[in-house]
Amino acid sequence: MASNHPLLAVEHIHRSYHNGDAQIKALDDVSLTIEEGEFVAIMGQSGSGKSTLMNIIGCLDTASEGRYFINGHDVSQLNVDQLAALRLKTFGFVFQRYQLLPALSAQENVALPALYANTSRSERYQNAIALLQKLGLEGREHHKPTELSGGQQQRVSIARALINGAEVILADEPTGALDSKSSEQVLELLGDLNQQGVTIILITHDAEVAAKAKRQIHIQDGKILSDNGCSREYSTQTNNETLSDLPSIAISEAVSISFRALYANWFRTLLTLLGVVIGVAAVVAMMAIGEGGKQQVIDRIESMGTNLLLLRPGGANMRNSGDIATLTLADVDALALLPELVGIAPEREGRSTIRYLNRDYRSKIMATTPNYLQVRDWEIAQGVMFNEQDNQEKAPVIVIGATIADSLFPNETAIGRYVMMKNSLYQVIGILTEQGASSGGMNNDEVVLIPLQTGLTRVFSGRYLGGLTIKVKSGEDLSAVEESIRQQLIQRHGKEDFGIFNTASLIEAVSETQNTMTMLLGSIAAISLLVGGIGVMNIMLVSVTERRREIGLRLATGAKPKDILRQFNIEALVVCCSGGIIGVLLGIGAALLIARFDIAIALSWQPAALAFASAFLVGLIFGHAPARKASRLNPIDALAEE
């Protein structure tokens, strides 16, 4: 059934360019029709407008004025995806300089348009080989363009134009860069394709080349001078049918393209990767150190027991030293009657120098009762703890910490020895187990324990206490017991001249402080990840600039702008995700190495997941601007890049 419209119809096309204030007319009121199966040569000297006309016919450019129809479809009414579909399925381009991607083999170059037609990998490669063999390139399928002659490269370009079964071949000066023999072969090949029903539009300035075509159109200064074809009048009308479109290329294909593009510049990719790796590794390592420090402090507090209440003298608006003498042994006796308590250890502390022979050690003196170790969950490593009889008799006996024992008695047994303290002799009867640092950073192993009555009589002045450590029975409501003690002491003293603290609230306060420090460390490390993201964007922008010809070629062979957008976005994501994985592993390794230097660390999956997610977001955010720039490139300008 005959069609009521031609294959291609150009009606009163104008195309102007602006160079500053000057307007340059490339095409001036051009009209022509081309029927299916024609072999047309458009002739003209350089600057005559023939290439501009070809770009408009091939949907690479748009007219300033006029209308252009393809199979009855008004091109001006089509969106970018429909124009890409036309370039993909209707047109095949043969460029003067071949426009082959140097990193791809002949087979891969030919198969490129089929990628955007969503043809399976195996099928498009088989079709590419069949076309190359048909065009006389058997055995050259896996050669790179630099390994092929000019004529062979042009044949690859023709095969690429045919891979999707193009109805129209647009050949722009296909013989311009070839010797006479290769030129003859290419023209013969185009003639054979025309015999098979393919419409050929040949752009040339050579009359001998144009003579090979069945129809010659002469163009000069943007106007058609002559046309020996028989144009007819057609009732060209807008066809409202939507042009068939194809979905974007598969993610797996885009990832494969991205890896190849990144591998082509592997050293630059490695340097870009390094910024992300360092950023992610720093986040993981710093978070591990911060969490380790937090856990270490909490463990030390918990080692005291989470069911302890610490009662200290002094309340609001109490400033002078006399005001803090508010806790007495009578308070201990009163509180001991509470059934919720396991025990109460009254305390009075100060500092003094301990001397043995010619060795001195300044330490903390703690006067307390024999149940101090039970309340504090501490044990004796050697010897014994003083008992209640020692306390009542004010016996001059002491129990010393491990650090003091090592310092004063490095090569002998401390038990039974006498030391000088406050001008009095005290017998060492026990050595405490090692405890390490307290939650406040003090060394617990520097303490000296003496009976409370001995301390109040011989060491300290006054009968008041420096504090009480109260152990609550397991399972009791710590807050309720705390309130009960507060009310009883207020009743006894007439005012709240004391303070009560529990280890649970201390752990909460320390946790909040340590969390802040951890976040600070993580934020500092995240700055390097941010810098890495800026590096990714910078390198991707450079990559877009360097690969303008590749982008133009992909657009000309059927890629939609969103395909280009996806490809470059995925390239940035591949860099950042690869850097994220390597960075996480490196950060864990760095944390484990740091742990060898007795620095506390705590490894968990959350910081690693956060760091990787941050790297992913860096790729997504910082890669979008270069990808968007690539997708908006004009294919004509991009293909013109040298």
Q: Quick one: pLDDT at residue 531?
A: 81
- Band of pLDDT at residue 17, cut at 50, 70 and 90: confident
Instruction: Find the mean pLDDT for residues 435-454.
Output: 78
Q: Highest mean pLDDT: which of 249-258, 480-489, 503-512?
A: 480-489
| β-strand partners of 19 | 22
Which pLDDT score is estimated for 236? 41
What integer pLDDT is reported at residue 496 of this predicted model? 87
pLDDT surpasses 80 at 224? yes
Residue 295 has pLDDT above 80, yes or no: no
Q: Which amino acid does the sequence have at 483?
A: E
Instruction: Number of helices (H) and strands (E) in the chain: give both, helices first.
Output: 21, 20
Assess if residue 310 is contained within a domain.
no
Select from 465, 496, 527 the last residue of a domain.
496
Q: How confident is the model at residue 243 (pLDDT cuts 50, 70, 90)?
A: low
Cα(392)–Cα(454) distance, integer angstroms: 8
Answer for the pair 382, 431: CB distance below 8 angstroms, yes or no.
Answer: yes
**Would residue 564 count as lying in a domain?**
yes
CA-CA distance, 169 to 218, in Å (whole number)? 19
- State the average pLDDT over residues 486-491: 90
The predicted model gives 552-581 an average pLDDT of 89
Q: How many structural domains does the chain have?
A: 3
Which residues are paired to 353 by β-bridges?
Answer: 362
Rounded to whole angstroms, how far apart are CA atoms 325 and 314? 8
- The string of pLDDT tens digits covering residues 327-345 is 889 999 999 999 989 899 9
Tell me: do 175 and 283 sit in the same domain: no
pLDDT digits (tens, 9 = 90+) for 380-437: 999 999 999 999 999 999 999 999 999 999 888 999 999 999 889 999 999 999 877 6
Q: Are residues 514 and 490 in the same domain?
A: no
pLDDT at 265: 82
Res. 260: pLDDT tops 70: yes
What range does the domain containing 137 cover?
8-246
For 279, the token pair is 């950023």
Q: Both 230 and 265 in a single domain? A: no
Considering the entire predicted model, what is its pTM?
0.66
Domain assignment present for 314: no
pLDDT, residue 238, reads 42
- Predicted local confidence at residue 518, as pLDDT: 64
Q: Tell me which amino acid residue 221 is.
A: D
CB 558 within 8 A of CB 89: yes
Domain final residue, candidates 438, 471, 496: 496
Rounded distance, CA 326 to CA 379, Å? 30
Q: In angstroms, rounded to a whole number, what is the distance separating the alpha carbons of residues 376 and 299?
A: 14
77 in a domain, yes or no? yes
Q: Which tens digit of pLDDT belongs to each residue from 165-199?
A: 888 999 988 887 778 888 888 888 888 889 988 99
Q: What are phi and psi of 362, to 5 degrees?
A: -90, 125
% of residues, the chain, pLDDT over 70: 89
Bridge-based pairing of strands 199-204 and 168-172 is parallel
The confidence band for 514, taking pLDDT boundaries of 50, 70 and 90, is low
Residues 96 and 182 in one domain: yes
Strands lying side by side in the sheet with 22-34: 22-34, 8-19, 65-70, 73-74
Confidence of residue 450 (pLDDT cuts 50, 70, 90): very high
Same domain, 220 and 264: no
| Rounded mean pLDDT, 63-76 | 89
Residues 31 and 145 in one domain: yes
Dihedral over alpha carbons 301, 304, 308, 310 (to 10 degrees)? -80
In a shared domain, residues 68 and 208: yes
- How far apart, in whole angstroms, are the C-alpha atoms of residue 492 and residue 511? 35
Please check whether residues 53 and 124 belong to one and the same domain.
Answer: yes
pLDDT of 550 over the 50 cut: yes
For the cut 60, the answer to whether the pLDDT of residue 107 exceeds it is yes
pLDDT in tens, 113-149: 999 888 888 999 999 999 999 888 889 999 999 999 8
Residue 239: what pLDDT? 40
pLDDT digits (tens, 9 = 90+) for 589-637: 988 898 888 787 888 888 888 888 888 888 888 889 999 999 888 888 8
The mean-pLDDT minimum among 273-287, 334-348, 485-499 falls in: 273-287
pLDDT at res. 526: 72
Query: Would you state the pLDDT for residue 233?
Result: 45
Could you tell me what percent of the chain has a pLDDT over 90?
28
In this structure, are 523 and 484 located in the same domain?
Answer: no
CB of 6 closer than 8 Å to CB of 73: no
What is the domain-level CATH number for residue 192? 3.40.50.300
Mean pLDDT (whole number) for 463-488: 86
Of 474, 496, 518, the residue that ends a domain is: 496
